[in-house]
Amino acid sequence: MAIPSLTPYVAPDDMISLEDCSDLLRQTGHSRSLTTLRRWIAEHPDMCSERRRGGKIYVSFSDILVVHRDEVRRRD
């Protein structure tokens, strides 16, 4: 009996611009500025995926959401 080969699951790319990320967080009631988001990326390099294209910074929205959750909990 042959074992079928498995195709590894690849998560969809959720990279969005830092500006779009800030706009989406504004809807949570716990908005954060671009400066704060840049600081979080610097403080959590192991958690925040970042890419630069054409002078814009793109971040993984799911990574930022995890950091956002932790930071909001810490502040409250």
What confidence score (pLDDT) does residue 23 get? 93
Q: Which two tokens stand for residue 59?
A: 């971040």
CA 29 remoteness from chain centre? 18
The domains of the chain are located at 15-75
pLDDT given at position 67? 92
C-alpha triplet 24, 73, 46: angle, nearest 5° = 75
Mean pLDDT for each consecutive 10-residue tract of the chain (76 residues)?
53 83 90 91 87 90 91 84
Q: Which pLDDT belongs to residue 12?
A: 59
Pair 21, 37: CB distance under 8 Å: yes
